[in-house]
Chains A and B, each alone.
Chain A
C-alpha cells in the first residue's frame, strides 16, 4: 500500500509527523506492508494533515487527519475520506503550472521529478542561444512574482547584454511578507524546479554561478533546498557540465539573518556580500552592478520556478493564460481569518471576492469579513466594496491596491483598522534599514501620530496624511515608500475606526 504524506512546514505545524508515525505503527501492528512517500503540500491547508492512499493509480485523500484516525484510514472506512484528491473542487478549478508537481512527487527524488516533466525545459533551453532564451521569456509575458511585477525577460536582456568576466543569478527567497508562503511551499515541495529555472537563467544571460538567499525563518525549506542542490550536483544537473552540455552552472544556498528589508533586492545583495542589509540607490541597476558589482539577475522564487514550465510548454501556451498585461498564472495565498486557507494557482483575472468568499469560504470565525490586505505588509487594506476588483497588476493598482506577491490576508469585523495601521508603522520602524530619514524617523513618528489619533487629537490626522506623503516620496525602497499604503487605505476605507478615540474624547 502506497501512502503519500506531506512534509511541508504547514502540515508539520498541524501535526503531520505524528500522523505519519501513527500510520506506520498501526500498519506494523496489523501486518500491512506500506510504503510512505513524503511530498509537498497540495495547498489545501485547511485539510492538513492530508494523507493520500493510492488505489488503482488514483490517490484518495483523508483529512484533516489525526493520529487517532490511523486505523480507520488504513481500513479505508475513515470518516475523514475526501475521495480522489484530483477531483476535489479546489484542485479541479486551478491551473497548476508552476505548482504542478507540488504535493505530487517526492521533492528530493530527481527521477520522480523527471517522470513528471522535470528537466524538459532545461533540455530545450540547452539547444537555444542566450538571446533565444531571453526572447522566449519575453514572449511568455512573465513578470516578477515577488511583488514589483517587472518584466523578467527585459531584466534578463540587460544582464545578457552586459559585458563582464562573471555574472550571477540571485534568487530572492527572503519571503518576509505576512500572508505569503508560495516560495516556501515550492522550495519544500519541488526544489528542483527552482534549480532548473536558475540554470536556464544562467544559460540565458551567461552566468555560471547562482545564489538562493533564503530567510532563516524557514529551516525546513533551507534543509530541503540544500539537499536538493547536493543531489543536483551529484547527478550532473549542476556543475561544470550541466546535463553533459559542456556548459557550467552551480549554485549555493545562503541563509538570511532575520531582516525583513533584505527582501528588497539591493539590500539583499549587500547582505549576500556580508554587509549590513542597507538599501542601495538605483542606478546602478543590479542588472549591471549587482552582487560584487557584477551584472546580476535578481528574481523571486516563483518567477524562477515558473521558467521551466514556460520552456516545457512553450512561451505562448503560458501567455495564453491571464488578463491584460498580467500573463500566465498567479499563485494566490489565502490566509488569515479564513475558513479555507491555502495556495491556489490560477490565471490572472479572478476577482478578490471570488477568492475570499467562494474559494476561502469567508472568515474562519463565521463573522462578516471586514477587509482583505492584499500584497503583504506594504499592501492596501481593501474593504468589501472593492472585492469586485480582478487580481492583476494594473487592475489592482487602479483600485489603489498592490498585488505584490499575491498574498491575501482576510480580517473579520472584529479587526480594528487603526490598530492595523499602527502596526504597519511599528513594523516599518522595527525593520527600516535606516538609510532614508523619512522611513527611519517617519515610521516612529507615524506610530506616535496614530496614537494621538486614537486619543482623539483632531489635528493628528492631517499630520499623518502629510507624513505618509513624505515617506512615499522620500524613501528609496518599498519599505518606506509603501508603508503609507496600508496606513492610508485603512484611514480612507475605514474612517469609523479612526473616529472612536475622537468620540471618546468629546
Chain B
C-alpha cells in the first residue's frame, strides 16, 4: 500500500467541485483520476464538505463499478462481455485470456502490470469483440491481438 495521499491535495479536489449541483460523482471521479482509487483518508473530508454520513458515502462508492478503494494495476484491460461481442466469440476470448493469466474478473497480475475488468458494452458492437486498455479502444479482438496486447502491457 502506498503512503496516504496529502490531505491538502484531497481538500483542493473537493473544493474545486463542491459548488456543482450534485457534486459527489465529479469529486469521486477527480479523486480516482488523481490517486487511481478513492483514498480512505478522503472519506471524512468528503462527508464533512457535503454534509453526508459515512454510510451514505460508502453506499455510493460501493454502488458503482468504476470506483475502487485500492489502486488497480498499472494498466486496466476491460473486455466486453455483452451480447454483440458474444455473437462473435467474445466469451471464448475472455475465458481464454483469464485462463492464460490465471485470473478471475477484477484480478490483477502478480507483478501489478494489469487488472482485468469485465465491461458491458463499449459501443463497438459492429466491430466486435471489443476491448479497452486504459482509454484506448480495440475492435475485432482475437487471440493473436490479445497476446500482443498482453505482452505490450507487461502481463
User: A interface vs B, CB < 8 Å?
Assistant: 9-10, 12-14, 45-46, 48, 175-181, 183-185, 209, 216-220, 252, 254-260, 271-278, 291-292, 333-338, 341-343, 364-365, 373, 377, 407, 409-412, 415, 420, 423, 427, 430-431, 433
Does the CB pair B66–A179 fall under 8 Å? no
- Chain B residues near A373 (CB, 8 Å)? 83
- Chain B residues near A217 (CB, 8 Å)? 78, 119, 121-123, 132
Does the CB pair A216–B66 fall under 8 Å? yes
- Chain A residues near B149 (CB, 8 Å)? none
Does the CB pair B84–A336 fall under 8 Å? yes
Distance in angstroms from A181 CB to nearest chain B CB is 4
Does the CB pair B127–A276 fall under 8 Å? no
Does the CB pair A292–B64 fall under 8 Å? no
Does the CB pair A218–B123 fall under 8 Å? yes
- Tell which of A257, A410, A423, A427 has the most Cβ of chain B within 10 Å: A257
Does the CB pair B140–A336 fall under 8 Å? no
Give 15 new A-B contacts, CB below 8 A, not counting A336-B88, A341-B126: A13-B127, A176-B120, A179-B84, A179-B121, A252-B20, A273-B21, A274-B23, A274-B60, A275-B24, A277-B64, A291-B22, A337-B88, A341-B127, A377-B83, A409-B87
B67 contact from A257, A341, A423, Cβ within 8 A: A257
Does the CB pair B24–A274 fall under 8 Å? yes
- Chain B residues near A433 (CB, 8 Å)? 63
Distance in angstroms from B38 CB to nearest chain A CB is 11
Given A45-B127, A219-B135, A277 and B63 contact (CB-CB distance below 8 Å): yes
B29 within 8 A of A: yes
Cα–Cα, bound, A435→B119 (Å): 22
Does the CB pair B64–A46 fall under 8 Å? no
Given A255-B25, A259-B64, A431-B120, A423 and B86 contact (CB-CB distance below 8 Å): yes
Does the CB pair B125–A257 fall under 8 Å? no
Interface of A (DSSP majority class): mixed
Does the CB pair A409–B123 fall under 8 Å? no
User: B interface vs A, CB < 8 Å?
Assistant: 20-26, 28-29, 50, 56, 59-60, 63-67, 78, 82-88, 119-128, 130, 132, 135-140
Distance in angstroms from A61 CB to nearest chain B CB is 17
- Chain A residues near B82 (CB, 8 Å)? 178-179, 377, 427
Residue ID in chain B nearest A337 by CB atoms = B87
- Chain B residues near A336 (CB, 8 Å)? 83-84, 87-88, 125, 128
Cα–Cα, bound, A9→B128 (Å): 12
Residue ID in chain A nearest B83 by CB atoms = A178
B84 contact from A12, A175, A178, A209, Cβ within 8 A: A178
Residue ID in chain A nearest B28 by CB atoms = A257
Does the CB pair B29–A333 fall under 8 Å? no
Does the CB pair A258–B25 fall under 8 Å? no
A-B pairs with beta carbons under 8 Å apart, 20 shown: A9-B122, A13-B137, A13-B139, A45-B126, A175-B121, A176-B121, A177-B121, A181-B124, A181-B126, A183-B123, A209-B21, A255-B25, A257-B64, A257-B67, A272-B22, A275-B56, A275-B60, A276-B59, A292-B21, A411-B87
- Chain A residues near B139 (CB, 8 Å)? 10, 13-14
Does the CB pair A335–B140 fall under 8 Å? no
Residue ID in chain A nearest B136 by CB atoms = A12
Distance in angstroms from A497 CB to nearest chain B CB is 14
Does the CB pair A13–B130 fall under 8 Å? yes
Does the CB pair B124–A258 fall under 8 Å? no
Does the CB pair A410–B120 fall under 8 Å? no
Residue ID in chain A nearest B88 by CB atoms = A337
Cα–Cα, bound, A178→B118 (Å): 14
- Chain A residues near B124 (CB, 8 Å)? 9-10, 13, 181
Does the CB pair A14–B125 fall under 8 Å? no
Does the CB pair B26–A254 fall under 8 Å? yes
Cα–Cα, bound, A410→B29 (Å): 35
- Chain B residues near A430 (CB, 8 Å)? 120
- Tell which of B50, B122, B138 has the most Cβ of chain A within 10 Å: B122
Given A9-B137, A179-B83, A14 and B121 contact (CB-CB distance below 8 Å): no
- Chain A residues near B83 (CB, 8 Å)? 178-179, 336, 373, 377, 409, 420, 423
Does the CB pair B122–A179 fall under 8 Å? no
**Closest A-B pairs by Cβ, 9 of them:** A274-B24, A341-B126, A13-B139, A178-B82, A335-B125, A258-B65, A336-B87, A257-B64, A45-B126
- Tell which of B66, B124, B126, B135 has the most Cβ of chain A within 10 Å: B126
Does the CB pair A9–B123 fall under 8 Å? yes
Cα–Cα, bound, A388→B16 (Å): 56
- Chain B residues near A335 (CB, 8 Å)? 84, 87, 125-126, 128
Distance in angstroms from A295 CB to nearest chain B CB is 15
Cα–Cα, bound, A183→B87 (Å): 22
Does the CB pair B25–A14 fall under 8 Å? no
- Chain B residues near A407 (CB, 8 Å)? 84, 125
